Amino acid sequence: MQPLEKLQQTFFRALLLPLRGSSRAATELPSSAEEHSPEFFRVADELIKPGPALSSAERLELYHRQYWFRILDSLAEDFPILRRMTDETLFWSLIESYLLARPSRSYTLRHLGEAFPTFLANSPVLSSVQRHWLSSIARIEYAFMECFESAQSAIPQPSDIQSSVIELQDYVKILHLPVPADLAWEWETFPSAAALPSGDIHIAVWRGTRGHSHHERLELVETILLEKLQSGITLADLFESLPEPTPSADDITRFFAKWQNHRWLGIRGKRGDMELDPTADWHGIDRMSSQTLSL
């Protein structure tokens, strides 16, 4: 390992240490009387020279604080419905625990929350009901992020339908959830456990032409057909392997009309242009987060 690379790794490991002291008090995190660890002070003394007004540790804390402020705010912005459905103290505790257990692994903050749904599904501080609901809400919200940056293949025209291999657009995500978590978008607060509805659901999350993400509940047979389309299939092959119970001709016509209207279908191997509506009002959409892009 080169000296510069080793120095960078040592510095980054110091940034990953928990937020402490006055820096922590400036956030929404639960208060803590803990001070920085000996490791923090060791790295500060090893890598940073003191200045006229600040010690080595104080100078390191400036970088440490800005790193944590940025990732905390970014992750919170990406999961606004989860935050609304969660007690503030619990929400920020979960955010911090996740970031300590699973630091950023990408050059872009867009990927920061990719493992958050799984983290919530296995969190020991949540009840089983909370784990199901909060992880499912987080899965929908992270799918918004994935849809926004996904590529687009060519939209099939009527002449393409019979002869081309049709696929589900990459900006369409099919989710299977153990609870009807899509209802959270209609709630102002999280209901009591006794009032929560039950039942697993299938939903589609996709990017519209204004850049916003949408979600919609799917019928079971519709879900099966869409999953067959994910890897690409001709319509002849699709109709030869219809699921049971077999959908009626009217159902198939209704499904395809909706899929085409939502621009869910593409032609495999034929690249399309990113079809975003240039006449739409894009005011305020200035960062890649579900808060600004979802309806």
Query: Regarding predicted confidence, which is higher, 101 or 294?
Result: 101
> Picking from 116-120, 137-141, 251-255, 267-271, which range would have the lowest pLDDT averaged per residue?
267-271
Query: Regarding predicted confidence, which is higher, 286 or 279?
Result: 279
CATH class, domain 79-293, is alpha beta
Q: How far is CA 162 from CA 17, 104, 129, 158, 236, in A?
A: 57, 45, 46, 8, 8
Per-residue pLDDT at 269: 80
Q: How far apart are CA 80 and CA 89, in angstroms?
A: 15
Q: How far apart are CA 81 and CA 131, in angstroms?
A: 15
Per-residue pLDDT at 275: 59
Q: Which residue spans within the chain are E strands per DSSP?
A: 166-168, 172-177, 201-207, 213-217, 265-267
Share of the chain above pLDDT 90, in %: 69
Gyration radius of the chain's alpha carbons: 23
287, pLDDT greater than 70 = no
Q: What is the DSSP letter of 22?
A: H
Per-residue pLDDT at 273: 66
Cβ burial, residue 268 (10 Å; 0-12/13-18/19+):
middle
Per-residue pLDDT at 158: 81
278, pLDDT greater than 80 = no
What pTM was estimated for this model as a whole? 0.88
Per-residue pLDDT at 283: 56
Band (126; pLDDT cuts 50, 70, 90): very high
Question: CB 197: neighbour CB atoms within 10 A?
Answer: 9
Band (290; pLDDT cuts 50, 70, 90): very low
Q: What is the pLDDT of residues 171-221, one digit of tens each?
A: 999 999 999 999 999 999 999 998 999 999 999 999 988 778 899 999 999
Per-residue pLDDT at 294: 40
75, pLDDT greater than 60 = yes
Q: In the chain, where does the domain assigned CATH 3.90.930.50 lie?
A: 79-293
Q: What is the pLDDT of residues 223-273, one digit of tens each?
A: 999 999 998 999 889 988 888 889 999 999 999 999 999 999 999 888 776
Per-residue pLDDT at 293: 42
Question: CB 53: neighbour CB atoms within 10 A?
Answer: 7
Question: CB 26: neighbour CB atoms within 10 A?
Answer: 12
